[in-house]
Amino acid sequence: MYKNTYLIDNNSFLVNSGDYYITERNNVELKLSGSNEVSNMCISVGSSGCDNYVEFSNTYTLDLSGEDNGETTIYVYYKNKDGNVIASLRQDIVIDIEGPINNSIEISEGNSLTRKLVLSSDGADYMCFSNTSDNKDNCTNWVKYSRSYNWKLSDGDGNKIVYAFFKDKAGNVSRVVSDTISYSRNCLE
């Protein structure tokens, strides 16, 4: 995960404990630290400048439901008791609430249990597979996305199913896709 705390003279803030990718628009937690001089704070999203100052607090829940997917910036301003801005902080984030789309898997023909998988996905950075379950928690380790991958089918004759999942950098996982192929050792003799 991306970790970045912006610190200016003991004044800082952190988004969702250091997340760069925001995968839920509601309840984004800011953890704020201010020097003893800080009495008020103002938070804005997407554009610099701020008018709605509130009393300083160490935590603030931000609602990003009006923001589109993509990169944006959170700005935090601190004022002292005299009304002077003593810190102007910013942090870039990426709002990404959707997993990879247009996902597909195809098991290539062959004579052995190890087959080439032909894969396609828009937005995938990682992928994982399973011979037994359409639940992402039961798939193999996540590997870097590629358009092909060698995979061993389950042992024995019969229909073989391979389930695939795709994940983006933000951790959003696609819906499962699968392909089925029939396998018989007798056909090889």
DSSP string covering 28-61: EEEEEE--TTEEEEEEEESSS-----EE--SEEE
- Nearest Cα to Cα of residue 146 among 134, 130, 164: 164
Q: Is 12 exposed, middle or buried (0-12, 13-18, 19+ CB in 10 A)?
A: buried
What gap in Å lies between CA 189 and CA 183, rounded to an integer?
Answer: 13
Show Cβ contacts of residue 35 under 8 Å, excluding neighbours closer than 6 positions: 9, 10, 11, 86, 87
Residue with the two structure tokens 């389930």: 163
Q: Collapsing DSSP states into helix, strand and coil, what is residue 188?
A: helix
> pLDDT digit string (tens) for 56-104?
999 999 999 888 889 999 999 999 999 988 888 889 999 999 999 999 9
pLDDT at 6 over 70: no
pLDDT at 4 over 80: no
Q: Is 15 exposed, middle or buried (0-12, 13-18, 19+ CB in 10 A)?
A: buried
DSSP class of residue 136 equals: G
Q: What is the pTM of this model?
A: 0.76
